[in-house]
Every structure is written in structure tokens, then in C-alpha cells.
Amino acid sequence: MTDTQIPPAAPAEPGAALLEAGRFFRPGTPAPDAHGVAAFSWYACSPTRVRHPYVRGVLLEMYWEAKERLRDPVLAWADVQSDPERRRRYQRARGKGGLVRASWDEATELVAAAQVHTIKTYGPDRVAGFFAAPAMSMVSHAAGARFHALIGAPMLSFHDGYADLPVASPQVLGDQADVPESGDWWDAAHLLLWGSDVPVTRTPDAHWLAEARYRGQKVVAVGPDHAGHASFADEWLHPHPGTDGALALAMGHVILKEFFVDRETPFFADYVQKFTDLPFLVTLAERDGAYVPAKFLRASDLGPEGEGAEWKTVVLDEVAGRAVVPNGSLGFRWTASGKGRWNLELGATRPRLSLYGSEDAAGVEVLLPRFDTEGGAPGQGRGAVVRRGVPAMKAGGARGPLVTTVFDLLLAQYGVARDGLPGRWPASYDDADAPGTPAWQEAHTSVPAATCVRIAREFARTAEQSAGRCMILTGTGTTHWFHSETIHRAVLALLQLTGCQGRNGGGWAHYGGREKCRPMTGWATLATASDWSRPPRRMTGTAYWYLHTDQWRHDLCTADVLASPLGAGRFRGMTGADCLALSVRSGWMPSYPTFDRSPLELGEVFGDPVARVVAELRAGTLKFACEDPDAPENWPRVLTLWRADLFGSPEKGADHFARHLLGTHSSPRAEEAPEEVRPRDVAWRDEAPEGKLDLLLSLDFRQTPSTLVSDVVLPAATRYEKHDLSSTDLHPCVDSCAPAVDPPGQPRTDFDTFKALAERLSEQAVGHLGVRKDLVASPLQHDTPGEIAQPGGVASDWKRGECDPVPGRTMPDLTVVERDYTAIGAQFSALGPLVERLGLSTKGITLLPDEEVEDLRLLNGVTDDGRPRLDTAIKAANTILALSGATNGRLATQGFRALDARTGQETAHLTDEHEGKRITYADTQAAPVPVITSPERSGSEADGRRYAAFTLNTEHGKPWHTLTGRQHFFLDHDWIHELGEALPVYRPPLDLHKLLGEPRRGPDGQPEVTVRHLTPHDKWSLHCEYQDDLFMLALSHGGQHLWMSPRDAEAIGVADNAWVEAVDRNGVIVARAVVSHRIPPGTVYTHRAQERTAAGPKAETAGRHGGLRYSPARLILKPSHLVGGYAQLSWAFNYLGPTGNQRDEVTVIRRRSQEVD
């Protein structure tokens, strides 16, 4: 044997810990067991490890000089900031080295000084924090977020900015990314992997795929390239990138025709009747001699108004033959009379799915938009309208509104004909001109029509046979598109029509970006500091970057080019920035900084600050900051990143970040918008500001693209060097991180760093800040009564006089919060009194953890004023666990009782087996601990079953958190109608040539090729490793690479491994080509999270170092994402909001000189 070697230390025994967790798997199911990511050990002492605090040298010298003079950190910082020349000097040095070592003391003093100065001068909402995916390290996240919440600074969302947030999820399901655990893949009889390459992105769980296949599961992969999952699958469909929606619609066409119209499938019919909005009545509005679908028919349309009548939707009862208001809609959720009736019980009511064949109904022609035609200058298929027919009748007597059902509209939209209805219908599956047919989709996707029909049939047949055990896994492949929600809605429709949602082994398994904080309530309490003050400021990341990196100034995509040919012209003259401003002032989306004045100033006016703000807004003397984002008083000033590589990973438009936010050198090539496409309501300044940010702080354990541009870098402990909690949507457990080694040098845990910052800030606040009153504006929030603020989804703009500005109704809610800035350190380290005084709310259910607070006093010890201590990461972890239903049986039961009171159903028994269970941090250290079924989620884990979302809904009559209380096919908000997306519809990828003047795709005569530029995950970036790991670089191609097809490579004379550049108007990437026949012609791949520290030579195009893979991307806002204040279309953090998008991009690829530097 090689006896010079020390035998490897035995790793943790055969996953003894996981075997423990495995006991909760029923026999005959493959249980989880040990596996690990060995390569992490590289980081313990890698050359890129951050070992000490660093400050940008030029800044530190200026600060020292000023401090020497002024003897006060805050005044010293103010002095540097007050001099534009000095300010620009260190800003221009960002990203160019020059970080020097500082002591912890110096570094925290400087950071605290910057924060105090900013709060004092501009207001706390000019400070912000950013962190990605809290579930992986809840304590780390909560620590920083708590610090920001206590000082009144916004936390920025990540799920949307990463483009991972599926907007369809709230739209259709009223919930965000509630998905089955991976063990439930096993339960599926049919699995469609649609744009989700599980072996690469969900590596540790991919074994379930192979195992389930042996159990006779049929596996179909849909993805443009021959990726890992294609090797697994029985069939591989490769539609053209971004055309997936057409394939899904055509599959829906086949299912509707063969399983609903040609023959009725009782299992399906029963399901859609109970659990979807298909039987609900929709009013029809007259338009050009025909009709268009308008709004859901509500109780208020029919008669005298009762409580919540504007929120009670209506069906036609087959038995009684009249309109009936069934339980479960939003009108029952927040009203006193709805108590015990917010449920899915239909009683004797039999909702009629279709009016077809009813005596009172007659066929009328409806107009529906289509976007797949070559149409108009913007290339968005404008002007095309489909004429089809639905059976309609007058509701509530001859003078009542003309109505039809959602189901009838759906058949019209999908082009499924029934005899006797007016309109133009496809002749057969082979009718390629009619939207919806298999032949039509073939023209768009290249997937043969016969294959589409066959797969759809198999899918539905299996669903019928297995009682709903068909599952569709989606991921970033379907999500990173501008029109992603239209893809997802068409995909979701397949599952809803076949009765698969809310089943073990069935339903939508969407994995992308967001992990699941299992102990949600406790984590959120700490993270929002809602134990001390409410509400916290939480901001949509995408909108923040769109405004503050000035991408809005480069946005040529006006809102009305996206509008439906049947729209009412609502977006006329509006840009993305205008839509955002309207959304903000209507209370739909949050916006921080909020006003063009400090919220401390607004909170401290004489009299009623709220009334004063409303009056000033009405008078126009006070403006929203987003209406003039380039005004210096509206800039963000201090930004802190921790456990998040903002500049390396999620951001789109990297060069805009560099120029406008950071004020350093960049290579943006985009022109600003010409006058005719500039915003209507948002101020345009001639000079775009450069260098808005005073201070960028990063906490990280390795050098990343973000640390390279930061002013202060604080060394962080890795997950193997700190105490923390972690959980994921894939596994039903709470797990711990615990120190396995000591970090090298001076790293601290994120918890300790923020604790130190909080204490330092409190110190410096004396004399500069003291106790202040802060006026917080917050949007109308989902799962609160705020979601019934704007009935009917009618968009009214108070600024244009369409309604009155009323806080919490037609504009954001306004609250005055008192903050003692000298006590931030003390509050950080103690659990505040609002926990037991006001209770903790999650998804509309309020828990009262009074006993838990008592227990925490004993467990954590108390402060001088008797509050439980939170001064260590372990105490924070224990507090998170104690305050959540998922980890505290008593609270789970309490929550279910509260839910039962509202629904009138019986669910509290689901926690019987665990009511006495209290999971502590020590338990999670011994073994990952399976969580308790809790009303914080929509599925049951009772009795050893795998977690599947929405089983509480299908099995216990609990409504979905939507308008109708059911899953929605139909969305009737004004803005959704304006976009023509009231029903699932196919919207092709953006035509960027027509929209933004990007080159056309295809060879253009030059030794260049213009291609679709996709940015998927690769094997070893981001998800389980970073790309700069030595072993991983050695095993892979290494460095920055770009995959392309042999045909495209040949066209530009590129051999495998040659240097190429990918260029568009936003930026440039320099990479080595990987030429592979696995990539379809016309498409290139740049994998996510390739590290600048491992690659990135200078580009010929700009002469500067090439960017990262999102350099060519940019932010464009879609108005439908900005809708709010209306049922499930209401904002919540990481639930709904504008998303980034990057797959619509096209770039030019060319061979470059093979000499690089």
C-alpha cells in the first residue's frame, strides 16, 4: 500500500445522522444517506481566502486624515463625502486593487460612521443590505437583516433579481415556490423535467430520478441542449429556446380536447370543479361587435352589498340553475362573517363547468389576443386577434351582466372547438395557422406535432390512471425569460387540468434560486426585528438595481409595445420606470429610498405626520424618490453584501453597476434612450450620475468579483467555521452548521460581525442620532388585509385624479416607527417585547409564543431588562427554532387551531404526533431533524409522508390564498388584461433586434455569428461549489468558457478552445470556446458564476477586462410583475415583484486574437 499516506479520517459514520432522519421515510422508499461536497476544504486556506479586514487604501488614508483633524468618526466621514474630488478619487479606485489591511476596530468604526452619517443626512432608507438564499444559513442572514431592520434600512430581495422568482406561482397558486421535497419525485408515475437539469443543479438528489425510473416512472426531458437530464430520460424534446410555452399550450389543447370535450374524465372534471377557478363566472364586455373577457363576476355585481361582497366570486349551480357564491373566496378570509367559511366545501352546490348546452346560454363571439405573429415594429406580434366563441348568458336576470365561465374561455383560448359556437376554430391538430394546435406549436418549437400529441396523451392517461401522480420539474430554463410567467402558466395548466396539484408524486416542482426556511416564523422574526419594531423595510431587488444603476436610462423597451392589441392604451407613453413609479405610488410595490426627503424628517413633523405626507404628496411638494432617482438626495449611499456575490452572480448589466452605482471604469456600450422613449412621470437629468454609493461593504470568506470592488472587506467564517441553521425545499429537515475547524487569520462569523457593527453604531449614534421617529411606507401586502385594498383589480392612479390618495388603500401604508439609535446594539442582542405582545404572523396566521418566550428566558438567559438574550449565534438559532411551528409542536398546533377557526375545517390533528416536540439547536447538531407539519406551509408531512405542496388544500378543504380561493387560470387585473395575459397564452422570446436594435440572429456575412445567449448553471458553480476551486478547475475546462455548436464555430473559424468574444450593447465577455455537438446551432451557453478571480483577460472590444456572463444582459421590467394590492397579486418579500431576465439575450460571437492579457 502507499504507506506514506495517513489513512483518511473516517468521515461522519454512514450518514448516521441521516439514517436517523431516514427513519421518517416509509419502508420501500429510498432514504437519504451520506454524501458530501469534499472540495470545500480547498477554501479553508486557499490563496483567495480573506483572512483580515481590508479597506480601500486611498479611502482609509483620507478618513485618517479627516479623523485626525475632526476627532469624530462621523464628522470625518462627512468631511470626505462633502468633497466631490476626494469622493470620486476612491470611487474610481474600486476594482483596481489597493485594498490594505485594517484592524477590526478601524474597519467597524469606519463602516458605522458611514451608516450614522447617512441616516443622519439622508435617512435610514438610504442604507441597504443584500443577502441571497437565507435558508442555507438562517442565522447569518437573520443577523445582518436584523441589524438593517433595527436601523430602518431596507433588505433587498434576491429571488426576483436572480430571475429565479416564478411570477406565475403567486398568480396561479397564491403562494411562492412551495414545492415537493425531492423524496416525492419518487412517488411520481410520470416525470417531466422541463428546463431543470437536476443532475447539475440538484446534484445530491438526482439519485431519486434514477431510482424512480426503475420503479417504472416515465421520464421526459425538455431542454434545448443534450444536458445531463437528457441522458436520464426516456424521451428528450428539444424545443427552440424560449418557445416552451407553445409546446405546453398545444399539450393542453390535446388534453382539453380528448379528456374534457371528446369524453369527460370524471377524475379531472371533479378536480377542476373543486380546486380551480374554471367554473367561476366571468363578465364579458362588448368590443368591436364582439366581446372580450372582463372581470370575475362578484356578489356585489348581483345584488345588495354584503360584507366582502366585492371579494366574493360566483359560480352557476347546476342543481339550482342559478348563480351561487361558494365558500372560500377572499371575501371570506378577512371578514367577520367569513369566519368558519373560508373553505372549499361546496355543500350541495354543483358548480357548472361550462354554460355549453344550458338553455339560457347562447354562443357569442369573443376576441382573444395572439402574440406569435410577425407583427409591428416592436416585433411583439401586435395587432393580431383571434375570434372564437363561448356560450354566454345573463347572470341574475335579463338585466344582469353577460357572463361565461373560465372553462369556456379556456377552451376558446386553446382553440378547442365545440359544435355550434361562433368564431374561427382549428380544423384539426394539423392546422398550423391556429394558435393552440400541435401543428402550430411545431412551427414555433420544432418539436414534431405527433410527439407533442403523444406526450400529452401519455401524461393525461397516466394522471388518470395514477390519480394525479404526474409531476413537472421546472427550473431556470423556463424561468429566466422575460415572459416566463406565460410559460409557467401554460405548464401549470397541464397539472391543474389533470388533477395533479396537491398530490404526493404530482404537481409543480419548481426549483430555482429560493431555498426554504423551514422554521419560517422564527427566522422572519429575527430577520425583520419584528420583536422590536414593525413594519420592516423590504425592497424588491430588481427595481432597486433598475433604478439605481440607471439601467432605466438605457431602457428602450417601452411598456406599450408589450400591450395586447385588445388593450385600452393604459401604457401609452409609459416606460418601465413610469410603470414602477405608478406601482409604487399605488401601494403595489415597495420603494426605498421612498421619498425625496429623509423619512426621519417626515416622521418628526408637527401634528400628524401621515396626514402631512398625504397632503404634501397631493400638493406635489413631496415626491417619491423613484420619480427622480438620479437626484443626489435619492441615491442609495451605503450597501452591505454578505454571503452574496452581487457583482459576480445575480446582477444583470454589470457595466451599469460599475459606472453608475460604483463610479469606476466600465465598458457599457449602450446609448441612453432618445427623447421619444424617455419616461413620462420620472425626471430625466441630462447627466447620469456616476458613483452613487458612498460605501460598499462586503463580508466574505473568499475574494469574489464583489470584494474586488468593495471599499471595506470583512473576513467571514465559512459554514464549517460557524454555528448556523440550514434547511432546503428538497429535504424535510432542519440541519445545522457547526464549526469543524478554526478559520485562518481573523475571520468572524456574520453574527459576530453584525453584533459588533450594531454596538459600534450605537456608540457613534450618541450625539449624532439619538431617538428618532421614522416614517415607514409599506406596500399592500399579500396574506394581510392589505390584499383586499383594491377591489376588482381596477388600476386607479391618484396622481392623475382617478382616485384619492388614501394610505393603505390607494397608496402605500404609512407608519411612524420610533428608533433609539443608541440602543441598536442592545436590541440586536435581545429578543424584543413585541413577540408576545403582538404575536407573530406568517401567511395570515398569527401565533402567540408567550410560553416560548418564558422558555427562552431560561434557555438563553436574560438581559438587565428581562428580555431573553440573543448574544450568540446558538441563542439566535434556538430562538428561531422555538418561534416556528415547523420546529415547535405547540405552535404548529396553535397555528392550525387558528386556521381551523377561519376555515371551519379540522386540521389540528395533523400535529398530534408532534405536539410535544421542541426542536433545539443541539438536536440539529446531533442529526438533521425532520420538521413538523405546520400551517406555515401548504402540505402535510404527518405520518411519514413526503412533503408535497397544497395537500392541505386538496385534502382538508383549505383554500388557496387567491381571489377565488382556488387555483387560477384567469387573472382579471386591469394591467394583466392590458398585456393580454388574462388566460395562458404563448409569448415568444423578446425580439431584441426590433426592440433594442440588437443585431439579428444568424450569420451576417462577417466572421461573426449572432446567437441566442443562454446562461444556465454548470456543474460546479454556485450550487455546491464555487468555480474558483482548484480541484474543480483542474477537472473541468477551467476558466471562463462559452459552449457553442460545431456549425456556429465553423462559421466563424473557431476551433475548440479558441478565444472568442461575446458582445452586445451592454458588455463583453472574453472566453474560450468549447465546441460541442450537444449544443444546438444558433445558441451559445455561458455558464453561471464563472469567477473573475480565475479568469477574465482583456477584451479587444473595449480594451478592458471582459465581464462576467451577465454583462450582456440587462434589466427590463414587465408591468405584470408590478401589479399589487389585489388578492394573490399583492406584494410580499420574495413572493412577487419584478424579476430580472437574461435568456432573451442575443449576442455576437466572434473569434478574437489568440494573444490575451
Partner 1 sequence: MRPMAQIAMVMNLDKCIGCHTCSVSCKEAWTDRQGMEHVWFNNVETRPGQGYPRRYEDQERWRGGWRLNRRGALKPTAGGRLRKLAGIFSPPELPATEDYEEPWTYDHTNRAGAPAHGDLDPVAERARRQASDKVRNEFEQTFMFYLPRICEHCLNPSCVASCPSGAMYKRAEDGVVLVDQDRCRGWRMCVTGCPYKKVYFNDRTGKAEKCTLCAPRIEAGLPTVCSETCVGRLRYLGVVLYDADKVTAAASVPREQDLYEAQLDVFLDPEDTRVRRACEAAGIPDDWLAAARRSPVHALISKYRVALPLHPEYRTMPMVWYIPPLSPVVEALTETGHDGEDARNLFGAIDALRIPLEYLAEMFTAGDVGPVRSALERLAAMRSHMRAVNLGEDPDPSVSAAVGMGVYEIEEMYRLLSVAEYADRYVIPTAAVGDARRLEESALTQGCSLDYEGGPGSGGDGPFGRGSGRKLLPLTPVEKFHILGERRTADHTADVEET
Residues 4-23 that bind partner 1 (CB under 8 A): 4-8, 10-11, 14-15, 19, 22
Task: Select from 1074, 1102, 1115, 1117 the one that contacts partner 1 (CB under 8 A).
Answer: 1074
Identity of the residue, 457 or 857, whose beta carbon is nearer to partner 1 in the bound complex? 457
Task: Identify which range of 425-433, 896-904, 955-963, 1068-1076 contacts partner 1 by CB under 8 A.
Answer: 1068-1076
CA atoms within 13 A on the CB side of 243: 19
Residue 464 binds partner 1, judged by CB under 8 A? no
Stretch that binds partner 1, among 139-147, 173-181, 210-218, 294-302 (CB under 8 A): 210-218
Q: Does 232 bind partner 1 (CB under 8 A)?
A: yes
Q: Which is nearer to partner 1, 15 or 957 (CB)?
A: 15
Among 217, 265, 598, 781, binds partner 1 (CB under 8 A): 217
Based on CB atoms, which residue is closest to partner 1, 266 or 1154?
1154
Alpha-carbon gap, residue 275 to 748, rounded angstroms: 50
CB of 702 to partner 1, least distance (A): 14
Per CB under 8 A, the list member of 665, 833, 1038, 1098 interacting with partner 1 is: 1038
Q: How far is the CB of 1079 from partner 1 (least distance, A)?
A: 8
Q: Nearer Cβ to partner 1, position 57 or 1038? A: 1038
Q: Is 930 helix (H, G, I), strand (E, B) or coil?
A: strand
Which one of residues 228, 326, 825, 849 is an interface residue with partner 1 (CB under 8 A)? 228
Strands (E) across 314-395 are located at 315-316, 323-324, 362-369, 385-394
Dihedral, CA atoms, 715, 720, 721, 726, nearest 10 degrees? 90
Query: How are beta strands 813-820 and 1008-1014 bridged, if at all?
Result: unpaired
Cell of 801: 385624479
Output 743 or 980, the one with its CB closest to partner 1.
743
Locate all alpha helices (DSSP H) within 631-704, ordered by sequence.
Answer: 654-656
User: What's the burial of 652, exposed, middle or buried (CB within 10 Å: 0-12/13-18/19+)?
Assistant: buried
Q: Which is nearer to partner 1, 41 or 358 (CB)?
A: 41
When the beta carbons of 231 and 428 are compared against partner 1, the nearer one is 231
Burial class from Cβ neighbours inside 10 Å (0-12, 13-18, 19+) for residue 622 reads middle
Q: Which three cell numbers stand for residue 471?
A: 409531476
CB-based contacts of 3: which residues, under 8 Å, 6+ apart?
A: none
State how far Cα 569 lies from the chain centre: 29
- The answer to whether 29 contacts partner 1 (rule: CB under 8 A) is yes
In DSSP notation, 138-173 reads: HHHHHHHHHHHHHHTPPEEPSTTTTT---THIIIII
**φ, ψ (nearest 5 deg) of residue 873:** -65, -35
Asked if 457 touches partner 1 (CB under 8 A), the answer is: no
Closest CA to 930 of 14, 26, 11, 13: 26
Binder among 87, 89, 92, 213 for partner 1 (CB under 8 A): 213
User: From the CB of 463, what's the least distance to partner 1, in Å?
Assistant: 11
Q: Which position among 235, 258, 601, 855 is part of the footprint of partner 1 (CB under 8 A)?
A: 235
Residues 272-301 that bind partner 1 (CB under 8 A): none
Q: What is the rounded distance in angstroms from the CA atom of residue 861 to the CA atom of residue 878? A: 12
Query: Does 1153 engage in binding with partner 1 (CB under 8 A)?
Result: no
Task: Give the up-direction half-sphere exposure of residue 973: CA atoms within 13 A in the CB hemisphere.
Answer: 28
Scan residues 935-994 and list those touching partner 1 (CB under 8 A).
none
Q: Determine contact, residues 110/63, Cβ cutoff 8 Å.
A: yes
Output 29 or 925, the one with its CB closest to partner 1: 29
Q: Which helix (H) or strand (E) is 41 found in, with range?
A: none
Which range of residues in 324-332, 399-407, 621-629, 1072-1080 is near partner 1 by CB under 8 A?
A: 1072-1080
User: Among 696, 695, 738, which Cα is nearest to 717's?
Assistant: 738
Neighbours of 266 (CB within 10 A): 9
Sites for partner 1 among residues 998-1037 (CB under 8 A): 1019-1020, 1030-1035, 1037
Residues 730-759 that bind partner 1 (CB under 8 A): 742, 744-745
Q: Check the CA dihedral 1079-1082-1088-1092 and report its sign.
A: positive
Q: Which of 774, 782, 727, 694 is nearest to 62 (CA)?
A: 694
For the CB of residue 181, give the shortest distance to partner 1 in the complex, in Å: 17
Residue range at the interface with partner 1 (CB under 8 A); choices 230-238, 626-634, 687-695, 1103-1111 = 230-238
Q: Tell me the closest approach of the beta carbon of residue 502 to partner 1, in angstroms.
A: 20
Given the rule CB under 8 A, which of 460-468, 969-977, 989-997, 1101-1109 is the region that contacts partner 1? 460-468
Residue 1095 touching partner 1 (CB under 8 A): yes
Question: Please, what is the minimum distance in Å from the beta carbon of residue 1045 to partner 1?
Answer: 7
* Interface pick for partner 1 out of 21, 24, 36, 431 (rule CB under 8 A): 36
Of the pair 876, 1054, the CB lying nearest partner 1 is at 1054
Is residue 206 a contact residue for partner 1 (CB under 8 A)?
A: yes
Q: Which positions from 1122 through 1151 interact with partner 1, judged by CB under 8 A?
A: none
Number of neighbours of residue 217 by Cβ within 10 angstroms: 23
Should residue 446 be labelled a site residue for partner 1 when binding is judged by CB under 8 A?
Answer: no
Applying CB under 8 A, the span of 228-236, 624-632, 770-778, 967-975 interacting with partner 1 comes to 228-236
- The nearer residue to partner 1, 912 or 1056, going by C-beta atoms, is 1056
Considering only 65, 211, 430, 820, the residue that binds partner 1 (CB under 8 A) is: 211
* Nearest residue (CB) to partner 1, 384 versus 1030: 1030
What phi and psi values does residue 558 have, to the nearest 5 degrees? -75, 160
Considering only 88, 89, 424, 454, the residue that binds partner 1 (CB under 8 A) is: 454
Q: For 679, which DSSP code?
A: -
Give the burial class of 71: count Cβ atoms within 10 A of its Cβ; 0-12 exposed, 13-18 middle, 19 or more buried.
Answer: exposed
Considering only residues 166 through 195, tell me which ones interact with partner 1, judged by CB under 8 A: 189
- In angstroms, the CA 506 to CA 270 distance is 17
* Residue 374 burial by Cβ neighbours in a 10 Å radius (0-12, 13-18, 19+): exposed
Say whether residue 1056 binds partner 1 (CB under 8 A). Answer: yes
Q: Which stretch binds partner 1 (CB under 8 A): 168-176, 644-652, 767-775, 1094-1102?
A: 1094-1102
Q: Can residue 70 be called a binding residue for partner 1 (CB under 8 A)?
A: no
Q: How many residues bind partner 1 (CB under 8 A)?
A: 90
Distance of closest approach, residue 583 Cβ to partner 1, in angstroms:
42
Regarding 409 and contact with partner 1 (CB under 8 A), the answer is no
464, with CB counted inside 10 A (0-12, 13-18, 19+), is middle
Closest CA to 20 of 6, 10, 34, 8: 34
Nearer to partner 1, 179 or 206 (CB): 206
Q: State how far the alpha carbon of 710 is from the alpha carbons of 130, 539, 545, 561, 801, in Å.
A: 14, 22, 17, 38, 45
Is 233 or 847 the residue whose CB approaches partner 1 more closely? 233
- Scanning 205-213, 604-612, 662-670, 900-908 for contacts with partner 1 by CB under 8 A, the matching segment is 205-213
Does 100 sit near partner 1 (CB under 8 A)?
A: no
What is the footprint of partner 1 within residues 595-624 (CB under 8 A)? none
Angle made by CA atoms 72, 74, 77, in degrees to the nearest 5: 105
* Closer residue to partner 1 (CB): 181 or 783: 181
Report how far apart, in Å, the C-alpha atoms of 685 and of each of 82, 556, 688 are: 21, 17, 7
DSSP for 160-210 reads TTTT---THIIIIISSSS----GGGGGG-SEEEEES--HHHHSGGGTHHHH
Which CB atom, from 904 or from 1097, has the smaller least distance to partner 1?
1097
Residue from 70, 75, 688, 1156 in contact with partner 1 (CB under 8 A): 1156
